[in-house]
Amino acid sequence: MLDIRVWQVLHALGAVETNPGGRGFTFAHWSRFLDILRDLSQRLRVRARDVERALFDAHRAHQSGALYAAGNRYRRGGR
């Protein structure tokens, strides 16, 4: 599964460069997503699911507007 919230945070942080809104994912998006989560997991010595959950929670804390609204994206550092 590829979560829209986590993807938007990864985009805001510069970890991914495409699909800022996090919609219409391809296999390439999914593969990149897993590579990033696995890399962070190894570097932080935690489970990949824990990394994903932390990014999901960060998005929820900083999200403004409806998640699926046109043009809505995670904005790093504030609402």
Per DSSP, helices labelled H in 1-79 are 4-12, 27-44, 48-62
Tell me the CA distances in angstroms from 34 to 26, 27, 51, 55, 69, one per residue in order. Answer: 13, 11, 11, 13, 25
Look at residue 79 and tell me whether its pLDDT is greater than 50: no
**Cβ pair 5, 74 in contact under 8 A:** yes
Comparing 22 with 15, the larger pLDDT belongs to: 15
Q: What is the mean pLDDT of residues 15-25?
A: 90
For the chain, what are the domain ranges?
A: 4-62
pLDDT tens digits for range 25-74: 999 999 999 999 999 999 999 999 999 999 999 988 877 666 655 555 55
Look at residue 2 and tell me whether its pLDDT is greater than 50: yes
Look at residue 3 and tell me whether its pLDDT is greater than 70: yes
